[in-house]
Structure 1
Amino acid sequence: MSYEMIALLMFSSMMLMLLTGQRVFGAIGFVAVVAALLLWGDRGGYDLGFAAAIKLMKWYPLLTLPMFIFMGYILSESRIADDLYKMFHVWMGGLSGGLAIGTIGLMVLISAMNGLSVAGMAIGATIALPELLKRGYDKRMVTGVIQAGSSLGILVPPSVVLVLYAMIARQPVGQLWLAGVLPGLMMAAMFIIYIAIRCKITPSLGPVLPKEERDVGWPEKIRLLGAGLLPLVIFFSMMVPFVKGWTSLVESSAIGAMAAFVAAVLKGRMTRKVFETSVRNTLGISCMFMWIILAALAFGAVFDGLGAVKAIESLFTEKMGLSPIMILILMQLSFIVMGTFLDDTAMLVIVAPLYVPLVGALGFDLIWYGVLYTITCQIAYMTPPFGYNLFLMRAMAPPEITIHDIYRSIIPFVLVMTFALAVVMIFPQVALWLPDYVYGK
């Protein structure tokens, strides 16, 4: 059997196991180790998994993962995120669509606190959704805003997904995070511009709040501004030393986790329950990601040994005659298709052994491609019929919001995100300027 057929058999076996409901790390790791045992015998097969585990344990930047997850859960469980929304409520309620615009701002700050889209979705659905519906906002506008805003969590640093990509692609986490800053803020600005224009044309979609709800006096406004901007202060307290070169990435993540903990203590919200819930969730998610990275490293090692990447490159460039940019577009389309039934982590782990080396072989920048992959995942999250965010929203939304409403709500936001993806593809410096500036100094 040729190496190409072995690679195809491995890939199809892994997909079959995933379709039967097996855990992602179990399916991928099992196929990798069994293939290694059959190809290289007992010693080679056992060494493969062991080498992957050692590589994972020696990867120092991985320490950032539990730090940032812990920071996000502390800020979420201590209800500091509630203060954010109260601030937007008072300061932006006078604009048509102001609360929807404020919700996008809330999602950007939640992303800077947590790095997971699920956290943004949960906070948006529990805090923003009831308030927006109660004040007469259009239900389709509201659900679209929350889904689109929550997707920023995997692009705006500290993105947990980009940490996973960094490990698999062997790229610096710090450069990837900086590469996600401008595209993430650009996309958030595009969402805000769309909401503002749409609500200006049709004011009934986002009515202005009554003056009595907004007229709370300047002392209260200033107090809410200070409370709402606290997460932003925490974010800058860890990112500025890192960007200036005063601290390493791991040290900055520790600063962020400690700053969030101290903020919760000073506000009198650090209870035993909050601390215990935050620690338990941090350990659970961190361990899940470590198992997935371990399985991905083992699977990628087998693919490297088989030379599958070179075979696929030859198929696309020599036999099919496709240009590098056409191959890149096909990759992005495949992510969108897979995103209808897989989450971002599963997509990356499944195709990274093929795509990441192929992207490098085609001459593209792997930092830039990490941003493209993440934006494409955001689009895939909201693509019917089985987009990840669609079902999360349906599970959290009230009964009056139907699945049909949710599907229709995301159409304009998906178009905006597709435009943002095209901008980053055509102008790579949108993603690469900031890491080049910081690391080139």
Structure 2
Amino acid sequence: MSHELIALTMFASMMVLLLTGQRVFAAIGFVASIMVLLLYGNGGIEIPFSATFKLFNWIPMLTLPLFIYMGYVLSEAGIAEDLYKMLHVWMGRMGGGLAIGTIFLMVIISAMNGLSVAGMAIGATIALPEMLRRGYDKVLITGVVQGGSSLGILVPPSVVMVLFAMIARQPVSQLWLAGLVPGLLMAGLFVIYVQLRVKMNPSLAPVLSDEELNIPMSEKLKLLSAGIIPFAIFFLMTGLFVMGITSLVESAAVGATSATVAAILKGRFSFKMMHETAKKTLGISCMFLWLILAALAFGAVFDGIGAVRAIENLFINNWQLTPWQVIIMMQISFVVMGMFLDDTAMLVIVAPLYVPLVKTLDLGFENQMIWFGVLYTMTCQIAYITPPFGYNLFLMRAMAPKEISLTDIYRSIWPFVAMMTFTIALVMIFPQIALWLPELVRN
């Protein structure tokens, strides 16, 4: 059997198992284990075993549970809810102010959590009912919450970027810095879109009444203090890291400790809260760990049979594609797969094929693996909100108020998909949008 046919068999077997509803890590790990035994005999089991210990020896992996814990503490302690109340009072006089404030809230939650789940939960359960009660258009605000929550995987500290860094063997800190400017650019486009829509049709987002907003300045200042804690945690965590005072893992520990102290100072620390936080952190961390182990094992076997070199020969020599045409093909495949798979499943499927191939391409600039990691993460954002199986679509359907239908959810996402696609195109045309900040900090 040729290497090309073996590679095709591995991918086909994996996709069949995924379609049967098996867990992603189980399907990928099973195919890797069976193929290595068939190809190399009993001694071949050393290949995935070695990949496993590479992961256990990689110190930055410790950041994963720490950042997940930090996000859940801030959510369970109600600090994110306090933050929304502050935005409600301070931005309510602006046309579409609550929708714009929700986008800012999502950016802050992203910086605290690194996952889209927390932002979606807070937006759907807190922001949506409040805006609906005040007469906001349900399609507009549904799109705002879904698009804003997807920023969680791009704005640092991003858990998805940690996964990419583990599999592609790239520095997490460089990936985080590379994602910051594109993430803020995308959030800025969302704000401009909301402002333009409201300016053309003010009925989409009525200004709040004077009764709701005429509160004493002392109360406003008290609410303003709600925003100090998340910002202080974020800047303490990232500032110490950028200044070189703490390492990556130490920075994650600072964030986790700061979140716990904040919960204690707010008087919301309890055994029940810690129990829920620990349980959710353990569940999410274990899920990601099993996925990474399966991906590394699959990648080791896939690379061992020379399939990556065969694909490279097909694209470059046989089809004579330019490096940029190869990148565009990869992006198109991400968008297609993202309609059916979540970001982690997509990463573990394509990483064994795409990561080694990108390293061989001559795109005309340095740090192209960091740049490619940002492109992948941005495409995952589209995967979160595109039918038929967009992850955030199902979360929104489960958590949104009853008056928001599935049709409203589907109608709401397309302007945000267009803005995300536009941002991806900008980063592809101008790579320095992503690479400028990492180079500045490194130098």
TM-score (norm 1): 0.98
Deviation at residue 314 of structure 1 after TM alignment? 1.4
Partner residue of 2:66? Answer: 67
For 1:333 and 1:134, locate their aligned partners in 2 and report how far apart those are by CA, in whole Å: 40
Deviation at residue 346 of structure 1 after TM alignment? 0.3
The answer to whether the aligner puts 1:11 opposite 2:11 as a matched pair is: yes
Deviation at residue 347 of structure 1 after TM alignment? 0.2
Partner residue of 1:202? Answer: 201
**Structural mapping, 1:36-435, within 5 Å:** 36-44=36-44, 46-364=45-363, 365-435=368-438
Matching residue's letter, 1:43: G
Deviation at residue 253 of structure 1 after TM alignment? 0.4
Matching residue's letter, 2:349: I
Deviation at residue 363 of structure 1 after TM alignment? 2.8
Matching residue's letter, 2:30: F
Deviation at residue 99 of structure 1 after TM alignment? 0.2
Matching residue's letter, 2:441: V
Deviates more, 1:173-182 or 1:362-371: 362-371
For 1:228 and 1:81, locate their aligned partners in 2 and report how far apart those are by CA, in whole Å: 9
Matching residue's letter, 1:395: A
Deviation at residue 384 of structure 1 after TM alignment? 2.1
Deviates more, 1:344-353 or 1:357-366: 357-366
Identical counterparts, % of pairs: 68
Matching residue's letter, 1:158: P
Deviation at residue 329 of structure 1 after TM alignment? 1.1
For 1:435 and 1:338, locate their aligned partners in 2 and report how far apart those are by CA, in whole Å: 29
For 2:127 and 2:346, locate their aligned partners in 1 and report how far apart those are by CA, in whole Å: 30
Deviates more, 1:129-138 or 1:394-403: 394-403
For 1:204 and 1:24, locate their aligned partners in 2 and report how far apart those are by CA, in whole Å: 45
For 1:261 and 1:98, locate their aligned partners in 2 and report how far apart those are by CA, in whole Å: 31
Deviation at residue 392 of structure 1 after TM alignment? 1.6
Question: Is the contact between residue 341 and residue 383 of structure 2 (CA under 8 Å) also seen in structure 1?
Answer: no
Deviation at residue 321 of structure 1 after TM alignment? 2.1
Question: Is the contact between residue 73 and residue 278 of structure 1 (CA under 8 Å) also seen in structure 2?
Answer: yes
Question: Is the contact between residue 33 and residue 48 of structure 1 (CA under 8 Å) also seen in structure 2?
Answer: no
Deviation at residue 300 of structure 1 after TM alignment? 0.5
Question: Is the contact between residue 340 and residue 388 of structure 1 (CA under 8 Å) also seen in structure 2?
Answer: no
For 2:61 and 2:218, locate their aligned partners in 1 and report how far apart those are by CA, in whole Å: 43
Deviation at residue 131 of structure 1 after TM alignment? 0.4
For 1:264 and 1:386, locate their aligned partners in 2 and report how far apart those are by CA, in whole Å: 36
Matching residue's letter, 1:161: V
For 2:23 and 2:283, locate their aligned partners in 1 and report how far apart those are by CA, in whole Å: 14
Deviates more, 1:395-404 or 1:267-276: 395-404
For 2:419 and 2:184, locate their aligned partners in 1 and report how far apart those are by CA, in whole Å: 13
Query: CA offsets, 1:213-252, max 9 Å, x none?
Result: 1111211111111112311110101100100111100000
For 2:47 and 2:315, locate their aligned partners in 1 and report how far apart those are by CA, in whole Å: 29
Query: CA offsets, 1:123-149, max 9 Å, x none?
Result: 110110100111000000011000000
Partner residue of 2:25? Answer: 25
Matching residue's letter, 2:2: S
For 2:358 and 2:216, locate their aligned partners in 1 and report how far apart those are by CA, in whole Å: 56
The number of residue pairs the alignment matches comes to: 439
Question: Could you list the runs of 4 or more consecutive aligned residues of structure 1 that deviate by over 4 angstroms after TM superposition?
Answer: none
Question: Is the contact between residue 123 and residue 145 of structure 2 (CA under 8 Å) also seen in structure 1?
Answer: yes
Q: Secondary structure at the match of 2:69?
A: helix
For 2:248 and 2:160, locate their aligned partners in 1 and report how far apart those are by CA, in whole Å: 16
Question: Is the contact between residue 48 and residue 300 of structure 2 (CA under 8 Å) also seen in structure 1?
Answer: no
Matching residue's letter, 1:267: K
Deviation at residue 271 of structure 1 after TM alignment? 1.0
TM-score (norm 2): 0.98
Deviation at residue 7 of structure 1 after TM alignment? 0.5
Deviation at residue 385 of structure 1 after TM alignment? 2.6
For 1:371 and 1:410, locate their aligned partners in 2 and report how far apart those are by CA, in whole Å: 21
Deviation at residue 359 of structure 1 after TM alignment? 1.1
Q: Secondary structure at the match of 2:41?
A: helix
Query: CA offsets, 1:49-69, max 9 Å, x none?
Result: 321221111000000011101
Deviation at residue 398 of structure 1 after TM alignment? 2.4
Deviation at residue 402 of structure 1 after TM alignment? 1.7
Query: CA offsets, 1:391-419, max 9 Å, x none?
Result: 22112222322221111111111111111
For 1:387 and 1:73, locate their aligned partners in 2 and report how far apart those are by CA, in whole Å: 23
For 1:279 and 1:435, locate their aligned partners in 2 and report how far apart those are by CA, in whole Å: 33
For 2:347 and 2:59, locate their aligned partners in 1 and report how far apart those are by CA, in whole Å: 21
Deviates more, 1:9-18 or 1:333-342: 333-342
Deviation at residue 193 of structure 1 after TM alignment? 0.8
Query: CA offsets, 1:101-131, max 9 Å, x none?
Result: 0000000010011111111111110110100
Question: Is the contact between residue 151 and residue 183 of structure 2 (CA under 8 Å) also seen in structure 1?
Answer: yes
For 2:35 and 2:341, locate their aligned partners in 1 and report how far apart those are by CA, in whole Å: 23
Matching residue's letter, 2:424: L
Gapped regions of structure 2 (runs ≥ 5)? none
Question: Is the contact between residue 97 and residue 207 of structure 1 (CA under 8 Å) also seen in structure 2?
Answer: yes
Deviates more, 1:347-356 or 1:302-311: 302-311
Query: CA offsets, 1:289-324, max 9 Å, x none?
Result: 111111111110011111111111111122222221
Question: Is the contact between residue 66 and residue 282 of structure 1 (CA under 8 Å) also seen in structure 2?
Answer: yes
For 2:409 and 2:95, locate their aligned partners in 1 and report how far apart those are by CA, in whole Å: 22
